Amino acid sequence: MTVSFDYAVLRVVPRVERQEFVNIGVIVFCLERRFLQAKVHVDAARLQALWPSLDIALVQQHADAVVRVCAGQSQGEIASLSLRERFHWITSPRSTMIQTSPVHTGICSDGSSEAVEERLDRLYRQLVLPE
């Protein structure tokens, strides 16, 4: 059984007017498997190469908040939203320092939850981790 999933890349855009960014995470949503999860890696050296005065601790705090929202561990009204609503809230367009890419769609030929989690890991390695 195949299942579709949606994903977006979490980005830090230190100077929004320049549109330069560094990928710091991946968010994967699969409605059929009730799966919403994010993996993040804040690479201070890469970020500070673009903007030396960037507050890395603040970036890490926001990245960790995305992970908590996906897991339903956030505080307030967002935690009570459905998985779909949380995914759309996280991936809505912003003009702030923390943004997401456009949402992309993929297919897992093995429709298990493990296969979707493996796809998250693969996207994380390909799009976020330094080579």
* Phi-psi sector, 19: left (phi>0), alpha (psi -120 to 50), beta: left
Measuring CA to CA, which residue among 77, 68, 78 is closest to residue 36? 68
pTM value is 0.93
Residues 59-72 have a mean pLDDT of: 94
Structure tokens at 112: 């298990």
Tokens 């298990």 sit at which residue? Answer: 112
Q: Give the C-alpha separation, 95 to 67, whole Å.
A: 20
pLDDT, residue 112, reads 83
**Residue 100 pLDDT > 90:** yes
Q: Give just the sign of the alpha carbon dihedral 77, 102, 6, 39.
A: negative
pLDDT, residue 49, reads 87
Question: Residue 107: exposed, middle, or buried by beta-carbon count in 10 A (0-12, 13-18, 19+)?
Answer: exposed
Tokens 């890419």 sit at which residue? Answer: 101
Count of the separate structural domains present in the chain: 1
Range of the domain at 35: 3-127
pLDDT, residue 50, reads 84
- What average pLDDT is seen over the chain? 92
